[in-house]
Amino acid sequence: MKFSRNLSRESIIRFLEGGGPDSELFKAAREVLLESAGSSVFLRGIIELSNDCRKNCFYCGLRRDNKTFSRYTIPFNEVINAFDSGYAKGLRSFLLQSGELLGALHIDHVEKILHWVSRNLEGVRMVLSMGELPMESLERLREAGAHRYLLRIETSSRELYERFHPDDGLHEYDDRLRSLQMIRASGWQTGTGVLIGLPGQTAENLADDLLFMKELDIDMCGMGPYLEHEQTPLWNRRSELRHWEERELLTLRMISLLRILLPTANIAATTALQTLDPEGLEKGLMAGANVVMPNLTPMKYRKDYNLYQGKVHVEDTLDEVLKILENRCSAIGRDVELGNPGDPLHFSNRIKEQVGDWTE
Ligand code: SF4
């Protein structure tokens, strides 16, 4: 079956609804990946720097009103020790993730870590995922050595966004969209993503999410199945959720369709997908993903970073995770690429195009 890279909205909806053979879709996505970006699996070591957050999203266990766990911020020395160990094992891309915190102390802390990485770890790409930061903070962090920014739009539907966030002036769809557009326009390698399988979310909504990411021309994507958390308002609507197998299948279809729409983007096989199914890693990679994110967060903090419940690999050491990843990737004919920061080809291509435009 031949797939056009300009898939129409109607054909995307048809595939999401199961109207096309999944095996053909996954195979086509794998072929696009191999032709465009190769078979490598890139690793991005993640540190969950702080579980504190000023926001209150209805689906997230880290929301401000959840008082059932302790909040932490990992001190500088523990962060750099974790980076050092990851670097020694061949990791060259690290993600610092936290809830949304705008205070000077948080930004100073991140800036200090980035300066240390720039001075001490050669050839590393730093990725940040810390919510909607003001331009001034983003610029400071970029100057300190950050290269990539991930800001999930969560859903491109304004109506769904408003349904799953409080109406308090702090969770505005327009602010999130502007923030993402500003990041993209100011030269970051830009990533976004969506939740898949929210109550009431339709195939049309998800098709629009894919077209939104194509239109924004993103470099990276991390999208995973929605997983419920009992300390959130959405827990009360869990009876409306699709069965986990359906959420998984939708996620795999989304990965494949995005691979066809954006052949050279980096797409993650997310931990949420692996939490839903022990074979989620292999299935995500076979559907067209090419990035995996081993957790480098020091062990004592991990149980308190609960975006959702039941997260996998919480107790595995980096050595164990790398070994498992290498074995499982090689079993499906994919190589884990150590010693390589795995810049998204999509980013280098669009920069080349821009330079071409300026010099013509
Ligand atoms: S989704 Fe992000 S911004 Fe929203 S409550 Fe969770 S950590 Fe905070």
Burial of 159 (0-12, 13-18, 19+ CB in 10 A): exposed
* 359 pLDDT tier (thresholds 50, 70, 90): low
Report the distance separating Cα 336 and Cα 4, nearest Å: 29
pLDDT band at residue 355 under the 50/70/90 scheme: confident
Q: Once rounded to an integer, what is the mean pLDDT over residues 52-59?
A: 98
* Pocket perturbation via mutation, ligand 1, pick of 62, 72, 176, 194 by most ligand atoms within 8 A of CB: 62
Q: Are 47 and 96 in contact (CB under 8 A)?
A: yes
Residue with token string 């959702």: 308
CATH of 9-359, one of 3.90.1150.10, 3.20.20.70, 1.10.10.370, 3.40.50.1950: 3.20.20.70
pLDDT of residue 98: 98
Q: Which atom of ligand 1 is nearest to the CA of 62?
A: 6
DSSP state letter for 273: H
Which of 48, 54, 57, 153 has the most ligand 1 atoms within 8 A of CB, as the residue to mutate?
57
What pLDDT sits at residue 316? 83
* Domain ranges across the chain: 9-359
Q: How far apart are CA 250 and CA 244, in angstroms?
A: 10
Question: Has residue 258 got a pLDDT over 80?
Answer: yes
What confidence tier does 20 reach under pLDDT thresholds 50, 70, 90? confident
pLDDT number for residue 84:
96
Give dist(CA 219, CA 44) in Å, integer: 15
Give 358's pLDDT tier (boundaries 50, 70, 90).
Answer: low
21 within 8 A of 1, measured Cβ to Cβ: yes
pLDDT band at 288 (very low <50, low <70, confident <90, very high): very high
Interval between CA 331 and ligand 1 midpoint (Å): 36
**Which range among 88-97, 202-211, 298-307, 333-342 shows the weakest confidence by mean pLDDT?**
298-307
Query: What confidence tier does 1 reach under pLDDT thresholds 50, 70, 90?
Result: low
In this structure, the residues whose C-beta lies within 6 A of any atom of ligand 1 are: 53, 55, 57, 60, 62-63, 99-100, 131
Instruction: Give the closest residue (by CA) to ligand 1 atom 7.
Output: 99
Residues 219 and 265 sit within 8 Å (Cβ to Cβ): yes
Q: Per-residue pLDDT tens for 74-117?
A: 999 999 999 999 999 999 999 999 999 999 999 999 999 999 99
Mean pLDDT, residues 136-147:
98
The pTM of this model reads 0.96
Give the atom of ligand 1 at the shortest distance from the alpha carbon of 61.
6
The protein residue whose alpha carbon is closest to atom 2 in ligand 1 is: 99
- The beta strands (E) that lie in the chain are given as 41-43, 45-50, 93-98, 125-129, 146-150, 189-192, 195-196, 220-221, 224-225, 266-267, 291-292, 336-337
Question: From ligand 1's centre to the CA of 195, what distance in Å?
Answer: 13
DSSP letter, residue 339: T
Mean per-residue pLDDT of the chain? 95
The pLDDT confidence band at residue 357, using thresholds 50, 70 and 90, is low
Is the per-residue pLDDT at 360 higher than 60? no
Closest CA to 280 of 315, 255, 259, 316: 255
Ligand 1 atom closest to the Cα of residue 131 is 3
Q: How far is the CA of 271 from the centre of ligand 1 (A)?
A: 17
pLDDT at 356: 72
CA distance 195 to 190: 18
Residue 91 confidence (pLDDT): 98
Q: Of 265, 253, 310, 321, whose CA–CA distance to 85 is shortest?
A: 321
pLDDT in tens, 305-338: 987 777 767 778 899 999 999 999 999 999 999 9
Question: pLDDT-based confidence at 246, cuts 50/70/90?
Answer: very high
